[in-house]
Amino acid sequence: MKIICIGRNYADHAAELNNPVPKEPVVFLKPETALIPKNQPFFYPDFSNDIHFEAEIVVKINRLGKNIATQFAHKYYEEISLGIDFTARDIQQRLKEKGLPWEKAKAFDHSAPTGKFIPKSKLKNLNDFNFSLLIDGETKQKGNTKNMLFSIDAIIAEVSKYFTLKIGDLIFTGTPAGVGPIAIGNHLEGFIEEEKVFNLKIR
Ligand code: MG
């Protein structure tokens, strides 16, 4: 399986990192080794001093597809969750300045934990629901999918031009404003509307 990630999909987050709002989705990949096995913590890696959390809605692909039209994209997923696109911001800054690929900063082991997947049918409108991230009980990020620059269905259409989507592939759909550093000992909790779907400790 593969993990496809969208960058700068919320204008408020692009602005907080001084990035322009993109005309087409910014896309990068993470390998399967970026997942965290169930109930295990995230161990702070020794190659970075500035790991940031980015809370994102994650879509699980449930059908094989290529060149999927936007109007049919909804048939390719039944479940969503919340995940964290962990980013070594210090390394990413260095790579961005040199115009180099981001893999070391974005695709390292355990950089893409996800929570419990819930049926999308639980949500009235996939283009207008709330999600949030709490750290040690304090709300750090609040998002609503209506503020995505590219909707879930538009993302599926775009990325499937380049990558065949396979059953079990995950798409991280971008983070809203409010990203920041994590520290050893933090407890991360993620919610979709009122339902707690994500739980992770930093060790
Ligand atoms: Mg991200």
Alpha carbon of 196 to ligand 1 centroid (Å) = 20
130-135, strands of its sheet edge to edge: 138-144, 130-135, 187-192, 195-201
Q: How far apart are CA 198 and CA 82, in angstroms?
A: 6
pLDDT tens for each residue of 74-129:
999 999 999 999 999 999 999 999 999 999 999 999 999 999 999 999 999 999 99
Domains present along the chain, CATH in parentheses:
3-201 (3.90.850.10)
The per-residue pLDDT for 19 is 86
Alpha carbon of 194 to ligand 1 centroid (Å) = 22
The per-residue pLDDT for 52 is 98
170-172, strands of its sheet edge to edge: 26-30, 3-7, 170-172, 55-61, 77-84, 118-119
Percentage of residues of the chain with pLDDT beyond 90: 92
Using an 8 Å Cβ cutoff, are 114 and 175 in contact? no
DSSP string, 167-193: TT-EEE----S--EE--TT-EEEEEET
Q: How far apart are CA 149 and CA 77, in angstroms?
A: 20
Alpha carbon of 30 to ligand 1 centroid (Å) = 11
Using an 8 Å Cβ cutoff, are 178 and 14 in contact? no
The per-residue pLDDT for 13 is 85
- pLDDT averaged over every residue in the chain: 97
**What angle (nearest 5°) sits at the alpha carbon of residue 17, between those of residues 11 and 23?**
40
Alpha carbon of 7 to ligand 1 centroid (Å) = 5
Alpha carbon of 28 to ligand 1 centroid (Å) = 9
The token duo for 26 is: 């910014």
Q: How far apart are CA 121 and CA 52, in angstroms?
A: 31
Assess whether pLDDT exceeds 90 at residue 17: no
The per-residue pLDDT for 138 is 98
Alpha carbon of 3 to ligand 1 centroid (Å) = 12
The per-residue pLDDT for 33 is 98
pTM here is 0.96
